[in-house]
């Protein structure tokens, strides 16, 4: 029996494809890897490769908000995704909702952290006090809470990309306990040379990218929405003592599906070594399979969020009645999720998709 | 499954059966209890990195032992631990042994931290810039820098496994971690949770607070009229939380009961609290409502009390508004005057300080305090004294505005 009461009321995304869900959808539909740009690496003649988020044209008005003027890109991406995902809530401003906010990060605010530490090494007496507060993991969540105003509860979660589904589970818990009336879960990252440099040690073929993805969760009886959260598996932790492949297989076993027409949004990026556990775990899958990282790049927590956004968007657009998301994290755990359609008469997103909301 | 949740039942009572603590006062319950009771201060000139060009020169550094306790970690894993990871392991080992827990496959671990393995990140950055072609040790630094890997190592140390949650709500992280563990048990998602907080001193963070001119160039004196900033420390705390029923089944010793947790967000500013302490008032009131107690039932407050001008006046006003007439007799202290601000570890360490006070029936003595700020209408505990304490409340606030309150009850 399906006892889920949590629906996905809105989606948001910023990716190398652009500043909304529609751009993400279009890039994934096209199926071609996005162009790669160069990132200068100090001390090296050859630059590193990355997929950069394009500058938004025109510059979004919200970036002029006093709390966002000096923030680093991760906050800009997360805020844009947050606004898109909560457009459905702002459509009825007369309804006062207590909003929960969970921001999931793996690398976090690396740009200002590196800038500030560089300044510290050169001369701590002149290191900028404006930069330091923006280096903390909690900074994006704080700024977005100030931007959205109705936020009453905020957690910043750190972990490998599978943690994004822990964030979704936590949001669902806050909703079920009626601590909030809607909960926004965001996965976001920014990139710089040091992150691209570190990634090379583990996966030379991976191309780093950045951005954000957001899901706005609500209780089913309070918002009309077309996509429902059906299942989030256990968190299958792995370590030096516990096998990653086994953790991936255990995650797979807890998810249903695989019938024709169902979708799987996996995290395969094209590296035989990094992909092995996930590829093996899902070898029995007979439904349609999509691998957003092959098109967008390795976006760490943002990539996990894009997988969920893309899965929900596909259901909302009538491309399937159910979609599984497989997150085999880089150094912590594997978690999977299943999203399903709430009713057979689902409406489709608007052509532009700018609002990011999922009508029932 | 993380979702859907198990059918809800009556929320269980939640007790603490093990506590491990590492601060500059020492490693373990005993030296810390003695130090907090006596109001000992543990600051000294910073030796971990160069502070010659910083305004502040002191911090509360931990003296780490030469050898780490015997666990199921192999030599390779132990060798890879940085300072933060070692403190975390020491605290975890003490709590685990005290609780008498055994290895298990589904033990949730919840940690609060602000910077995880920052010293490894700093080393990575230095080497990447200074010797850009040298790769030695860089992959290990890139992995062990991450808090989830340090958390995973804790579970490995006790041959256990389970979901790991890392909360990084700045300086409220430790309280949020303990509170989230409480939430997980209350909601029926777990019967036992291992929780705590940790942070090590690092050059970047020290420089950051110094750049903000938030560090005291003199002496950290929370709630003092002449206070001029905070002092940094480092440390770790782990506690074992379980349902009362589970603890009784095992005949486990009980250190205290966690009876409430509340958290909220202050939208006022990224680094400054609301001047009237509105959000602090809210979380303290919510926590009391959850616990079913009134301010008159609270016997001691371990304040966030950083020693900065803005934090302490805001918190003092909030405590005064919340406690009403009770404030004038309600003992308050900030143990950050003794061991510094432990950032992501602070809330968890202060939770254990509350447990010490409840168990041993004394008031934690604030290490430095002369004349009260006019906003303080409550007594600051600045002389060691025994007291009858049944309920203790701990406040934590972080950069970004997250406020958290935990309330503990004595176990008799």
Find the CATH number of the domain harbouring A267: 3.40.47.10
B341 is catalytic: yes
Distance from CA of A238 to the nearest CA of B (A): 8
Where do the H-state alpha helices sit in B258-323? 278-291, 309-323
Cα–Cα distance for residue pair B359/B410, rounded to 1 Å: 6
- Look at chain A and report how many structural domains it folds into: 2
**CB nearest A159 (choices: B166, B207, B263):** B166
- Please give the mean pLDDT across all residues of chain B: 96
Instruction: Confirm whether A346 is domain-assigned.
Output: no
CA distances from A325 to A112, A252, A269, B112, B222 (A): 32, 10, 14, 27, 49
* Selected catalytic residue, list B180, B246, B274, B341: B341
Cα–Cα distance for residue pair B92/B86, rounded to 1 Å: 10
| Phi and psi angles of residue A104, each rounded to the nearest 5 degrees, phi first | -105, 130
The pLDDT value recorded for residue A90 is: 87
Q: What is the pLDDT of residues A166-206, one digit of tens each?
A: 999 999 999 999 999 999 999 999 999 999 999 999 999 99
Contacts of A157 in chain B (CB under 8 A): 165-168
ipTM: 0.97
Please indicate, yes or no, whether residues A253 and A148 belong to a single structural domain of this protein: no
Given a contact cutoff of 8 angstroms between Cβ atoms, the answer to whether B146 and B116 are in contact is yes
Residue of A nearest to B145 (CA): A107
Please indicate, yes or no, whether residues A21 and A127 belong to a single structural domain of this protein: yes
Give ∠ CA A132-A133-A136 in degrees, rounded to 5: 95
Q: Is A296 helix (H, G, I), strand (E, B) or coil?
A: helix
Contacts of A160 in chain B (CB under 8 A): 146, 148
Residues 134 to 173 of A: which have CB under 8 A from any B CB?
Answer: 134-139, 141-143, 145-146, 149, 151-160, 163, 165-166, 168-170, 172-173
**Residue A2 pLDDT more than 70?**
no
Q: Is B409 helix (H, G, I), strand (E, B) or coil?
A: strand
Q: Flag whether residue A241 sits within 8 Å of chain B, measured between CB atoms.
A: yes
Instruction: Confirm whether A330 is domain-assigned.
Output: yes
Q: What is the pLDDT of residues A35-70, one digit of tens each?
A: 999 999 999 999 999 999 999 999 999 999 999 999
**Residue A348 pLDDT more than 50?**
no
Q: Taking the CA atoms of B46, B51, B57 and B59 in sequence, report the sign of the dihedral they define.
A: negative
Instruction: Confirm whether A160 is domain-assigned.
Output: yes
- A301-316 helix and A21-30 helix, angle to the nearest 10 degrees: 90
Please indicate, yes or no, whether residues A158 and A249 belong to a single structural domain of this protein: no
- B203-211 helix and A110-122 helix, angle to the nearest 10 degrees: 80
Confidence of residue A349 (pLDDT cuts 50, 70, 90): very low
**What tokens were used for A132?**
């330091």
Q: Flag whether residue A125 sits within 8 Å of chain B, measured between CB atoms.
A: yes
Contacts of A335 in chain B (CB under 8 A): 2
The pLDDT value recorded for residue A355 is: 41
Please indicate, yes or no, whether residues A143 and A113 belong to a single structural domain of this protein: yes
Domain end point (choices A173, A197, A219): A219
Contacts of B53 in chain A (CB under 8 A): 123-125
The per-residue b/e assignment along B138-147, b for 16 or more CB within 10 angstroms, e otherwise, is: beebbbbbbb
Which of A2-6, A326-330, B101-105 shows the lowest mean pLDDT across its residues? A2-6
> Read out DSSP for B209-263?
HHHTT-B-SS---TTBTT---B-BB-EEEEEEEEEHHHHHHTT----EEEEEEEE
Please indicate, yes or no, whether residues A141 and A88 belong to a single structural domain of this protein: yes
Which of A108-122, B237-251, B258-272 shows the lowest mean pLDDT across its residues? B258-272
| Phi and psi angles of residue A162, each rounded to the nearest 5 degrees, phi first | -65, -20
Q: What is the pLDDT of residues B154-207, one digit of tens each?
A: 999 999 999 999 999 999 999 999 999 999 999 999 999 999 999 999 999 999
Please indicate, yes or no, whether residues A80 and A196 belong to a single structural domain of this protein: yes
* Selected catalytic residue, list B171, B288, B354, B376: B171
Confidence of residue A93 (pLDDT cuts 50, 70, 90): confident
Mean pLDDT of all residues in A88-107: 92
The pLDDT value recorded for residue A347 is: 38
B171 is catalytic: yes
Residues 6 or more apart whose Cβ sits within 8 Å of residue B289: none
Please indicate, yes or no, whether residues A274 and A129 belong to a single structural domain of this protein: no
Q: Taking the CA atoms of B360, B254, B326 and B374 in sequence, report the sign of the dihedral they define.
A: positive
**Residue A350 pLDDT more than 70?**
no
Q: Is B266 helix (H, G, I), strand (E, B) or coil?
A: coil
> What is the domain range of residue A108?
6-219
Q: Flag whether residue A201 sits within 8 Å of chain B, measured between CB atoms.
A: yes
Please indicate, yes or no, whether residues A259 and A146 belong to a single structural domain of this protein: no
B220 is catalytic: no
Nearest to residue A157, comparing CAs of B167, B117, B198, B150?
A: B167
In chain B the domains, ranked by start, together with CATH numbers, are 14-249 (3.40.47.10), 260-409 (3.40.47.10)
Instruction: Confirm whether A35 is domain-assigned.
Output: yes
Please indicate, yes or no, whether residues A183 and A241 belong to a single structural domain of this protein: no
The pLDDT value recorded for residue A346 is: 39
Cα–Cα distance for residue pair A245/A224, rounded to 1 Å: 39
**Residue B410 pLDDT more than 50?**
yes
Please indicate, yes or no, whether residues A178 and A291 belong to a single structural domain of this protein: no
Please indicate, yes or no, whether residues A325 and A297 belong to a single structural domain of this protein: yes
Contacts of B76 in chain A (CB under 8 A): 240
Cα–Cα distance for residue pair B257/B260, rounded to 1 Å: 9
Share of residues in chain A with pLDDT > 70 (%): 93
pTM of the model: 0.96
**CB nearest A138 (choices: B116, B264, B399):** B399
Distance from CA of A158 to the nearest CA of B (A): 5
Residue of A nearest to B11 (CA): A177
Residues 6 or more apart whose Cβ sits within 8 Å of residue B403: B172, B263, B264, B265, B266, B279, B280, B282, B283, B395, B396, B397
């Amino acid at each position: 029996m399906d006892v889920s009461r949590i629906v996905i009321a809105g989606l948001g995304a910023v990716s190398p494809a652009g500043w909304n869900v529609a751009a993400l959808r279009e890039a994934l539909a096209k199926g071609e890897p996005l162009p790669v740009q160069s990132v200068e690496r100090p001390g090296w003649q050859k630059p590193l490769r990355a997929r950069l988020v394009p500058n938004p044209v025109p510059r979004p008005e919200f970036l002029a908000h006093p709390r966002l003027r000096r923030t680093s890109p991760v906050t800009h991406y997360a805020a844009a995704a947050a606004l898109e995902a909560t457009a459905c809530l702002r459509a009825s401003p007369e309804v006062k909702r207590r909003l929960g906010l969970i921001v999931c990060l793996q690398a976090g605010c690396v740009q200002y952290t590196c800038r500030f530490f560089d300044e510290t090494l050169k001369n701590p007496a002149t290191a900028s006090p404006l930069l330091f507060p923006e280096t903390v993991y909690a900074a994006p969540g704080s700024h977005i809470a100030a931007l959205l105003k109705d936020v009453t509860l905020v957690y910043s979660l750190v972990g490998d990309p599978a943690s994004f589904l822990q964030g979704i589970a936590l949001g669902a818990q806050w909703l079920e306990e009626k601590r909030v009336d809607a909960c926004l879960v965001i996965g976001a990252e920014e990139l710089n040379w040091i992150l691209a440099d570190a990634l090379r040690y583990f996966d030379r073929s991976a191309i780093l990218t950045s951005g954000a993805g957001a899901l706005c969760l609500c209780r089913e009886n309070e918002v009309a929405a077309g996509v429902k959260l059906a299942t989030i598996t256990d968190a299958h932790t792995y370590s030096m003592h516990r096998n990653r492949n086994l953790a991936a297989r255990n995650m797979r076993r807890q998810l249903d599906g695989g019938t024709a027409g169902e979708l799987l949004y996996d995290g395969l990026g094209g590296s035989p070594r990094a992909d092995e556990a996930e590829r093996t775990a899902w070898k029995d899958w007979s439904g349609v399979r999509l691998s957003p990282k092959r098109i967008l790049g390795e976006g760490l927590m943002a990539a996990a969020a894009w997988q969920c956004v893309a899965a929900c968007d596909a259901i909302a657009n009538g491309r399937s009645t159910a979609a599984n998301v497989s997150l085999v994290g880089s150094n912590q755990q594997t978690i999977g999720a299943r999203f399903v359609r709430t009713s057979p008469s689902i409406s489709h997103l608007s052509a532009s998709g700018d609002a990011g909301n999922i009508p029932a | 499954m993380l979702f859907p949740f198990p059918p809800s039942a009556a929320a269980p009572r939640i007790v603490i059966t093990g506590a491990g603590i590492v601060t500059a006062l020492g490693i373990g319950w005993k030296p810390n209890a003695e130090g907090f009771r006596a109001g000992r201060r543990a600051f000294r000139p910073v030796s971990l990195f160069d502070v010659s060009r910083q305004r502040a020169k002191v911090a509360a550094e931990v003296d780490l032992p030469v050898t780490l306790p015997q666990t199921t970690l192999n030599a390779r894993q132990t060798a890879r631990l940085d300072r933060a990871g070692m403190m975390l392991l020491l605290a975890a080992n003490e709590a685990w042994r005290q609780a008498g827990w055994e290895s298990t496959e589904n033990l949730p671990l919840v940690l609060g931290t602000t910077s995880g393995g920052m010293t490894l990140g700093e080393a990575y950055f230095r080497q990447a810039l200074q010797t850009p072609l040298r790769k030695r040790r860089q992959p290990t630094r890139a992995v062990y820098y991450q808090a989830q890997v340090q958390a995973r190592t804790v579970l490995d140390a006790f041959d256990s496994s389970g979901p790991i949650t890392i909360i990084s709500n700045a300086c409220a992280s430790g309280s949020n971690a303990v509170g989230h563990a409480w939430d997980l048990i209350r909601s029926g998602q777990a019967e036992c949770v291992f929780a705590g907080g940790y942070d090590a001193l690092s050059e970047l963070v020290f420089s950051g607070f110094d750049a903000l001119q938030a560090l005291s160039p003199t002496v950290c004196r929370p709630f003092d009229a002449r206070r001029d900033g905070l002092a940094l420390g480092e440390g770790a705390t782990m506690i074992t939380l379980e349902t009362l029923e589970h603890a009784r089944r095992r005949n486990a010793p009980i250190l205290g009961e966690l009876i409430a947790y509340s958290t909220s967000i202050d939208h006022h500013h990224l680094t400054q609290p609301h001047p009237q302490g509105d959000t602090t008032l809210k979380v303290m009131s919510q926590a009391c409502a959850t616990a079913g107690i009134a301010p008159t039932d609270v016997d001691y407050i371990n304040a966030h009390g950083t020693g900065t001008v803005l934090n302490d006046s805001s918190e003092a006003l909030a405590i005064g508004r919340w406690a009403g007439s009770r404030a004038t007799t309600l003992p308050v202290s900030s143990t950050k005057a003794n061991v510094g601000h432990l950032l992501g570890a602070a809330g968890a360490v202060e939770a254990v300080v509350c447990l010490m006070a409840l168990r041993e029936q004394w008031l934690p003595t604030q290490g430095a305090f002369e004349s009260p700020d006019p906003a303080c209408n409550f007594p600051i505990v600045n002389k060691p004294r025994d007291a009858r304490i049944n309920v203790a409340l701990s406040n934590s606030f972080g950069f970004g505005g997250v406020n958290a309150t935990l309330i503990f009850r004595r176990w008799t």
